[in-house]
Amino acid sequence: MMAHDTTLPPAHSRSPDRPRRIVLYSHDTFGLGHLRRSRTLAAALTQANPDASAIILTGSPVAGRFTFPERVDHIRLPGVTKLVDGSYVSQTLGLDIDETTNLRAALIRAAVEQYDPDLLIVDKEPTGFRGELLPTLEMIRETGHARTVLGLRDVLDEPEVLAAEWDRKGALVATETFYDEVWVYGVRSVYDPTEGLALSDDLRARMYWTGYLRREGVESDEVPDDPYVLITPGGGGDGAAMVNLVLAAYEQDPTLEPRAMLVYGPFLSGEVRDDFEARVDKLDGRVTALGFDSRIEALFAKAEGVVSMGGYNTFCEVLSFDKRAVIVPRTVPRLEQWIRASRAEDLGLVRMLDETRDGMTAQSMIDAIRALPSQGKPSDAGADGLLDGLDCVNERAHILMSRSYTRSAAE
């Protein structure tokens, strides 16, 4: 049997009328943040160009529980789990981590090779999980068939910690070598996630601060009619402490209003979740709970206020739906959420519940929830001017995918 030729056609042989194709890589070893951001970007890019399509490559174990927009699909990469000691194991396949990484790398390369995208957008990790993106990035550099973008959230980590991590992973060299542009999904005056990284002047000239990624309202049957405060720990995998604090507040103060609508997230499960459910049941409807809602934007839109952790996507939703919010950031394994919440509080966008300053007590949470009605809205502090991210992304993507684009055009 004749071997199948998988060599990509020369770029100039593509029909100039061929609809644009976009791949978004989202390594997703923990939580929902990378997948939700990639899904938001894919939706915006395909809506802006009615002929374009997009594929999201994701390691998220719950990717199949999301709906995807028309002309957006996903490929689920074999999942991995991070252990307490920082090492990784395959979630289900019984392979060692090197075998799992090699399998993921081969799937990524095959998908990009066959789909032949015009644009590859990589979320946060320049080399991918354990370097799994490098074979694909090498192939793209050799063929020149796709433009490449590294997308960074507004905050990554403390500058010194980030610099050491990027050095260990070879991320700085990869970013300089393989990426046409870097998009920062934030505003430089709020925070510069690349502080501490020794980026060349050439690369900094190819960086764009897009602004935050605005979220749109959706319909959902789960929205209560009565007033409520939305309680969301994001994916939930590290949200038990925050949920415990909120439940303790409603248990301690029977007059605390309004009622709370708690969305656990898909990764808050097991005995901890069972314990929370038992406590919710005893609160006689003052707190109600959902396991997971892929259309959580609808709950944001109608909420009287929000109590959440400090993840990027939740922060975008707080700004987009102009909600008074109390942010309870995690501080391990990264200070990312604390940095974001601290800067946002300084700017008057949210209130942060800080362990050192406020104490993580039921009374501090009671006081924070009671103060929500008198708290300023994000729009009062100029939030609307921070939310141009998707417009900028669409503009840059259009330029990058134009047939006449060359890197020099971005410098």
Tens of pLDDT, residues 19-39: 999 999 998 776 678 899 999
**Residue with the two structure tokens 């300023």:** 376
Pick from 239, 238, 292: nearest CA to 263: 292
Contact present, 230 and 307 (Cβ < 8 Å): yes
Q: Cα–Cα distance between 281 and 277 in angstroms, integer?
A: 6
Pick from 238, 175, 243, 239: nearest CA to 207: 175
Q: Is 21 helix (H, G, I), strand (E, B) or coil?
A: strand
Q: Cα–Cα distance between 311 and 90 in angstroms, integer?
A: 25
Residue 274 pLDDT class (50, 70, 90 cuts): very high
pLDDT digits (tens, 9 = 90+) for 227-270: 999 999 987 788 899 999 999 999 999 999 999 999 998 888 88
**Is this structure's pTM higher than 0.85?**
yes
Contact present, 280 and 250 (Cβ < 8 Å): no
pLDDT beyond 90 at 291:
no
pLDDT digits (tens, 9 = 90+) for 64-74: 888 899 999 99
Q: Cα–Cα distance between 262 and 138 in angstroms, integer?
A: 45
Domains annotated for the chain, with CATH where assigned, are: 17-214+388-410 (3.40.50.2000), 228-386 (3.40.50.2000)
pLDDT digits (tens, 9 = 90+) for 386-409: 999 999 999 999 999 986 666 554
